[in-house]
Amino acid sequence: MAKQAGRSQADEEASLHSRQNPDKAAAPDAAPMSSPAPPYTDWLRHRLTISGPAEAMARFRAAAAGPGLIPWVLDLGRMEEDWRLQLLAPLEGEPAISPAGARILSRRLRDAAAANHQAALARAAADRGCPFDLHRLVPVPAAILALGPDDPAARRWLWAQWGTTRALRHVRAMPGMEDGRSRRTDRMAVEFWSADWSPWRALLRLRQDWPTLVWDLRPDYQREEEGAAPAARGRKRR
């Protein structure tokens, strides 16, 4: 395979990141930044191509497929209190609800959030619809999951181990990428959006875990400018 003799795209990504961001260039097992997540998230489109021996690729496809989410433990009590305070102290104008009404509404929001979260976790047990699930490949430990998605220590773990601070979004397999020339090799490509950075640290780890595979990660900033991800539309870029 052509790229085995040279530097991988993950190596090039890490090297480029180190040159452009010397204060963020720690090794994957080094101490992470104190504040890895910018105040506003930019969702960046990437395309990742993975190729290698057919047997190894079959094992990788099975290992990588999952629900595409991080099964955080939600602090529902804190969420309820945050919603109640936001209702009683809006950023602009006077509160449009009484204290009793805010308490009732915040409790209903909590109940709805809990039901939605439990339903998502139940589906996740058997869901393999995401072809490149980082939590399946580089799992978040239970102790980190218990902190919740907004905890600074949880964000630092994601940065140190994945290189991005949120789960990948809009992950999809690119059609027509199978290598039909040989039954001994295989190839897959996925497109995804990542928060603020590429998942370059996760790719460095995956290169070690899957040494017979070749990784080619390419950002697609031109297409990203032409059409922002649904979650990022209407948000100003930094």
Give the pLDDT of the chain (238 residues) as one tens digit per residue.
433 333 444 444 444 444 334 333 334 444 444 556 666 788 999 999 999 999 999 999 999 999 999 999 988 888 889 889 889 888 788 888 899 998 999 999 999 988 988 888 888 777 889 999 999 999 999 999 999 998 999 999 999 999 999 999 999 999 876 666 667 899 999 999 999 999 999 999 999 999 999 999 999 876 545 555 544 444 444 3
Short-list 136, 139, 132, 126, CA closest to 188: 132
Taking the C-alpha atoms of residue 59 and residue 52, their distance in angstroms, rounded to an integer, is 11
β-pair type (169-173, 43-53): unpaired
